[in-house]
Structure 1
C-alpha cells in the first residue's frame, strides 16, 4: 500500500514537471537587440534600462505577481556601437533588430539625403519612439582660449568616431561658422578617449552629442578645468532654420563641475528606430511595455535622462514613419500621430 502511494506521488510529480516543461517550451522565445553608442555616452545606459524593461524571459514571474512587466518570452539586450549611422546601417543590413539614432540622421537615412546623399534611401526604417533631447556638447580645455566655435581654427579637435551622429553634426556646426575639418587638426575618437588626451594636454576640444550629464564629461570635469563652448548666435539660428531637427537647448549651470553658468547650445532628438520587417505584434508589445508604470519607475530611478522619456513627447520631431505596431499603441493611447510619422 505504501509502495503504491509512493509510486502515485512520483507519477504526480513527474506529470507536473512535464506540464511545467511543456508550458515553458510552448512560450515563444524572441531575442531583440538595441544598438546604442559608446559605453561612455548616454545611449548605452538608457539602452540597458529599456532592454531590462521590455524583457520577460520564459519562466519569469508574471507582472501581476511582482515579476517582469516586459514582453512575455522576450530577451532584449543593449549593444555598444559606434552610434547613429552605424546603428541604422545594422538595421538596414538585418544584423540588428533596433537601435538608437539622432533624429536628423534617421531622417537623412530614410530619405537618402544629407550624410546619406548618393546612397539608396533606407526605406524600411521605422520609428518606435522619440526618447529625449540630445544636447550638442563642445568641450574645451579651460586654458585653450576657446570661447566660440570660431576659435577652434588651428586647434586639435576630436569630431567623434566614424559612424556616429556626433561626427555628422560636428561637420555641420563647423560649416555654419565658416570652418571645415581642414581648418582644425581633426581626430576621430570616442569621448572618453578624447577626454583622456585632453587630461594629458594632447587635445584642445571635442564634440559629443548626448543627453546630459554625459559620463565621460562629468568624469573629466572632476579635478580638471573644462569649459563648455556655446553654440549660439546667428550661426546657430541658421542651423535650426535650415534643419528642422535641431532646436535651441540649454545645459544648466552646475551640470558639470566648474561650469557655473547656463550654456546655450543646440539639440536633436534621440529616437529608437527599427525595421518594417519586424513583427507588428512584437513591436506593439514592446511599445506598450516601454510606457507601463513599471518602466516609468525604472527610467526615473535609472538615469537623469530617464525622467525626460515620457509618453507625451514620444512623437516629437519624428520624421520617419512609425512602425505599425508602435502606431497601433499610440492610437490606443490617444496620441495624435503627426503626418510625417504616419505608418506606411
Structure 2
C-alpha cells in the first residue's frame, strides 16, 4: 500500500515537472475582437502567463460567436479552450435547436473548467424619463440595437410583459445609445454584457440613469438566472439591481490532459482577485457562480475544486 502511495506521488511530481519544464500552449476562443469577452480573454492570457511564470501561454483567437465555438471542438485538439453559455453545450449534446442535424460525438467530450462573467441584462433609463420600473416604460422610446443577445432578449421581455406595442423602438445601433440618451432622442436602452458594463458606466457618469430591477416573479417568467448587481456599481446607484443573466463559462474537451486542466483552472482562480483590481467584472466571479455551470467538469478541474473545498454537484462530476 505504501509503495502504491509513493508511486502515485512520484507520478504527480513527474507530471508537474513536465508541465513546468516545457511551455504549454493554449488556444482560447471567445468572441469578436473589440468585445468585452474578447478583452476578458486577453486578461486571462496575461494572468495565466504571470501565474505560471511563463510556463503556460494562452493565445487569443477571435470568434464569431458561441455556436461557432462549440462547433469547432469537432476539429480541435487538447490545447483548445472556448467560451459559451452552458445551455448551448446541453443543446449541442442533445442535438437540439441550432444543433439539430449537426450532432457529433465530440460534443459529448466537452468539459467545463471555470465560470466567467455572465451576460447580464441592463434596462438603462435616463433620469429625465422618470422611469423606475418596467411597467413605466409605456409611451417611452427604447433602443434595443440589432443582432445581439441583448437586443433579442430585450425584445423577448417587452413581448413577455405586454410592452412591445406600448413603446417606440428606436432604429439605431447600440453604439449610438449614449449620445442618443444624452440628446433626448431616446428615453433608455437595453444592453447585455458583463457587469459593470462600460456603456452603462459612461451613461451613468455623463447623463444620469436608472438601471431597472425586475421582480422575482418577472425573473421567473423570463426563465433566466437571477443576478444581483451590488449597490454603488454605477454612479448614482444607491440600491442593488436585481436582473437576469445568462451564465457563461470556459470549456475544453477530454482531449486536454488532466494536469493542464488542473493548472489552468488553479491559476485562473488564484489570479482572479488581481484580475478584478484591473477589470471590475472579475469581482462578480466567485464560487457561488459554479452552480450555474450545469455541465460535467474536466477531471483536472475537479481535482482543483476538491483541493479548494469548492463543492460540485453529482451532475458536474
TM-score, L = length of structure 2? 0.72
Shift of residue 129, structure 1, vs aligned partner: 1.0
* 1:130 and 2:130 matched: no
- Separation of aligned partners in 2, 1:235 and 1:287: 35
**260-269 vs 174-183, greater mean Cα deviation:** 174-183
User: What are the ranges of 5 or more consecutive residues in structure 2 without an aligned counterpart?
Assistant: 1-20
Structure with higher helix content: 2
Partner of 2:204: 221
Q: Distance in 2 between matches of 1:187 and 1:108?
A: 32
Matched, 1:325 2:310: no
2:190 equivalent in structure 1: 207
Deviation at 1:138, TM superposition (A): 1.1
- The more displaced of 194-203 and 175-184 is 175-184
What RMSD, in angstroms, separates the aligned Cα atoms of the two structures? 3.8
Stretches (4+) displaced over 6 A: none
In structure 2, do the counterparts of structure 1 residues 220 and 170 end up closer, same or farther at CA, with 3 Å as the change threshold? same
Deviations 1:271-330 (A, max 9, x none): 2223444444432221122233xx1452242222323434x3363211122133323332
Q: Deviations for 1:36-91, whole angstroms, at most 9, x for unmatched residues? A: 467464x3443333211222xxxxxxxxxxxx332854321445656545544555
1:301 aligns with 2:283: no
SS of equivalent to 1:326:
helix
Whether 1:246 aligns to 2:225 is yes
CA distance in 2, matches of 1:85, 1:183: 32
CA spacing shift, 1:183–1:140, aligned 2, 3 Å: closer
- Residues 302 and 322 of structure 1: is their aligned pair in 2 closer, same or farther, counting only changes over 3 Å? same
Residues 22 and 55, structure 2, Cα contact 8 Å, conserved in 1: yes
SS of residue paired to 1:222: helix
Cα offsets for 1:229-278 (capped at 9, x unmatched)? 22225332333xxx3x512x333443222344433322343322234444
Show CA shifts across 1:5-47 (max 9, x none).
xxxxxxxxxxxxxxxxxxxxx8355242241467464x34433
| Residue number in structure 2 paired with 1:116 | 98
Distance 1:28 1:38, change over 3 A: closer
> 1:135-214 to 2 correspondence within 5 Å?
135-144=120-129, 146-150=131-135, 151=137, 155-159=141-145, 161-162=147-148, 164=149, 166-167=150-151, 169-178=153-162, 185=169, 189=173, 192-214=175-197
C-alpha separation in 2, matches of 1:307 and 1:35 = 19
State how far apart, in whole Å, the 2-side matches of 1:333 and 1:158 are. 41
- Please give the alpha-carbon distance, in whole angstroms, between the structure 2 residues aligned to 1:198 and 1:246: 28
Instruction: Check whether the contact 1:34–1:79 (CA below 8 A) recurs between aligned residues.
Output: yes
Name which of 78, 84, 92 aligns with 1:101. 84
> Structure 2: how far apart are the matches of 1:301 and 1:106?
31
C-alpha separation in 2, matches of 1:181 and 1:323: 46
Give the structure 1 partner of residue 249 of structure 2: 271
> Does 2:25 match 1:30?
yes
Q: Unmatched 5+ residue regions in structure 1?
A: 1-25, 56-67
Give the C-alpha shift of residue 137 in structure 1.
0.8
Q: Number of aligned pairs? A: 292
Question: Which residue number corresponds to residue 48 of structure 2?
Answer: 54
- Relative to the length of structure 1, the TM-score reads 0.67
**Cα separation, 1, equivalents of 2:179 and 2:165:** 21
- CA distance change for structure 1 residues 204 and 85 in 2, over 3 Å: closer, same or farther? farther
Q: 1:5 maps to what in 2?
A: none
Q: Residue 340 of structure 1 aligns with which residue?
A: 315
Q: Is the 8 A contact 2:28 2:61 kept in 1?
A: yes
